[in-house]
Structure 1
Amino acid sequence: MSDISRPDGGADNPGGNPDLKRAAARAPGTKAVRPRNAASLIVWRQARGAEPEILMGNRHAKHKFMPSVLVFPGGRVDRTDHGVKTITELRPETEALLRHRAPPSLARAIGVAAIRELAEETGLLLGERKGERVLADLAALDYLCRAVTPASRAMRFNARFLLAPAETVRGEIAGSGELENLAWYPLSKALDAKLADITRKMLAEFSSWLETPAGERHRRPKIVFRGNDNRMSDE
């Protein structure tokens, strides 16, 4: 189940605008909360000569945290994401990037979580369904970067942003109610929408990744966003 459906109103993306940051600030004098591992999945498509389109949806207007903000599918990594059966494993280059700041079991679970959340929030499958479970196609995933919510926040995430091309997913968009207005948003339209700061920056990272030759993408500098969504080296 995605964070955004939980009573605490958790977010599937760290960051946000200043008003949202103040609303979610931790109480003065309290110890910083340890970030929870999370995964967001940028599913994209691009016709020849057209601008890229990204699968996104709005958080429900009644959420107390980031209402109506346009986000990617995603959520926290659950215990059940560890050690489950999948139809493929992470490609070596993607696994190496995820394992840079995570042990092997967590690196794999992050990929599983991203694909599970995609199915739960959009109805689209990146893999196969077996009963109530989704068997993830981990080989379809690419790694973009990660973001860590500031220590001043009462709710924190260490979120990895992954990518998958639209041709690797199947099914029809059928939202569960966790995200509204699910659709393929042209990049320019997404950038004009109500976004958390970190989502806007991830769209910029995605644009740069897309402009990089496919064979060189896994060699891009490792990036992490920290503090007030400051872009830093993650080497």
Structure 2
Amino acid sequence: MEAMTKTDVDKLDKGLAAHGGRPLRPRDAATLILLDRKGDEVLVLMGRRHAGHAFMPGKFVFPGGRTDPADSRIATATALHRDEEAKLLAGPGRTSAARARAVALSAIRETYEEAGLLIGESAAFATDKRDWQGFVEHGVRPSLETLRFIARAITPPNRVRRFDTRFFSAWRSDVAVELPGGGPTNELEELVWLPLAKAREADIPDITRMILDELEKRLAHDPLLRPGGPVPFYRLVRNRFTRELL
């Protein structure tokens, strides 16, 4: 476990105002880092948040958002790889298999809602869950087997918003349908594919830059992102922010 400085802590939640009330319980959230290869370069999909958003306006981010417990009840073409599930179940808290599944599926759902990309297999799909109707309409059964768990970060206490965020990755080849107009929520104003080096230079939150650094290091040792790789986990432990590996 590596302790981090106060500056490192500030980097993880820059822009989130502190408050003096009772610490909020972090909410489950998920982010998807969608990757593509162009020659020797790895590109990453990012989108610019609406300037009118209260949270990180105008910043380039990965698609993502809060987990809906109902996500765990969505049928999938394939399950999480057992090594990835084991990593999701590791660490503090009582993460059940159902909760891990819901978090992973929320990354897929948010990528559709914000970027118009449906990850899965072309096949008949049915559900009465409103947020998944795009998969029904376009005949895509979501798939979890290709997701890779890249990082986890919990927002420190005494912040206006707190999230327990799991960062996943997938490849563009895992996308069954790409909608030309982007996602239905229009939360991201601009979608761009950037080389990793260019992405780090964009107007991005500091935590995003840190995760990109982690991803680049992992790709250097494991360009295929095989299942069960090391997962950095950032959190506050006894008033010290730490980085440990799951």
- Contact kept? 2:116, 2:181, Cα under 8 Å: yes
CA distance in 1, matches of 2:99, 2:56: 27
Unaligned runs of 5+ in 1: 1-13
Query: Which residue type is aligned with residue 84 of structure 1?
Result: I
Mapped partners of 1:165, 1:210: distance in 2: 13
1:85 to 70, 75, 79: 75
For the pair 1:125 / 2:118, whether they are aligned, the reply is yes
The alignment status of 1:35 with 2:41, answered yes or no, reads: no
Q: Which moved more, 1:108-117 or 1:119-128?
A: 119-128
Amino acid in the other structure paired with 1:233: E
Percent identity of equivalent pairs? 38
Alignment of 1:161-176 (within 5 A): 161-169=167-175, 170-175=177-182, 176=184
Report deviation, 1:83: 2.1
What is the total number of aligned residue pairs between the two structures?
215
Render the CA deviation track for 1:147-186: whole Å, top value 9, x for unaligned.
Answer: 0001021210000000001111132453231111112112
SS at 1:111 equivalent: helix
TM-score (norm 1): 0.83
Alignment-mate amino acid for residue 94 of structure 1: E
Counterpart for residue 147 of structure 1? 153
- The counterpart of 1:222, out of the listed 231, 234, 240, is 231
Give 5+ residue unaligned stretches, structure 2: 1-10, 127-132, 136-140
How many Å separate the matches in 1 of 2:203 and 2:65?
19
Aligned residue runs from structure 1 range 105-116, under 5 A: 105-116=98-109
Does 1:188 pair with 2:181? no
Higher share in strand: 2
One of 91, 97, 108 as aligned partner of 1:104:
97
The letter for the 1-side match of 2:101 is R
Of residues 197, 213, 218, the one that matches 2:222 is 213
Report the CA distance shift for 1:192/1:214 in structure 2 as closer, same or farther (over 3 A): closer
Distance 1:98 1:81 in 2: 16
Task: Give the match for residue 4 of structure 1.
Answer: none
Distance 1:35 1:153 in 2: 10
- Does residue 1:233 correspond to 2:239, yes or no? no
Provide the residue aligned with 1:138 in structure 2: 144
